[in-house]
């Protein structure tokens, strides 16, 4: 599998995740796909019920999720890794994919 995105319920909160094979990095595919998925999810899931975990060591994902309009809400850990929890910004504040392509 070259890439995937998911939204699933985990511990009473909606969890968002993605995976892109390294050969797809640096082309904006993750940002564009995540914006579309987050925009659609925000239409059916309350932002307060949404969480996104980014491991501290994963600076590329941290930068990408912030470009997608997500905001950090707290430090934490997930599966033994420390990092940050994010939530999507208000729908009208999130960028669209055309904005990211410039």
* Tens of pLDDT, residue by residue, the chain (102 residues): 688 888 888 777 788 788 889 998 888 888 888 888 888 887 888 777 788 899 999 998 899 899 888 999 999 998 899 999 998 876 544 455 444 444
pLDDT of res. 91: 52
Greatest Cα pair distance, the chain, in angstroms, is 37
pLDDT of res. 94: 47
Which helix (H) or strand (E) element contains residue 63? helix 59-67
Tokens 């998911």 correspond to 6
Contact 34, 64 (CB under 8 A): yes
User: What is the phi-psi region of residue 28: left when phi exceeds 0, alpha when psi lies from -120 to 50, beta otherwise?
Assistant: left
Contact 55, 83 (CB under 8 A): yes
Right CATH for 3-101 from 3.40.630.30, 3.40.50.300, 3.40.50.1000, 3.40.605.10: 3.40.630.30
Please state, as a whole number, how many other Cβ atoms lie within 10 Å of the Cβ of residue 7.
17
Beta bridge partners of residue 75, listed in sequence order: 84
pLDDT of res. 18: 84
pLDDT of res. 44: 82
56: Cβ contacts below 8 Å, ≥ 6 apart:
81, 82, 83, 84
pLDDT of res. 100: 46
């Amino acid at each position: 599998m070259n890439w995937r995105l998911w939204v699933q319920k985990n511990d009473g909160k909606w969890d968002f995740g993605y995976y892109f094979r390294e050969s797809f990095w640096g082309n904006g595919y993750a940002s564009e796909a995540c914006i579309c998925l987050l925009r659609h999810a925000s239409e059916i899931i309350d932002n307060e019920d949404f969480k996104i975990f980014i491991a501290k060591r994963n600076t590329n994902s941290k930068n990408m999720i912030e470009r997608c309009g997500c905001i950090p809400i707290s430090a934490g850990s997930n599966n033994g890794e420390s990092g940050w929890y994010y939530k999507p910004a208000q729908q009208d504040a999130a960028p669209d994919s055309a904005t990211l392509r410039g």
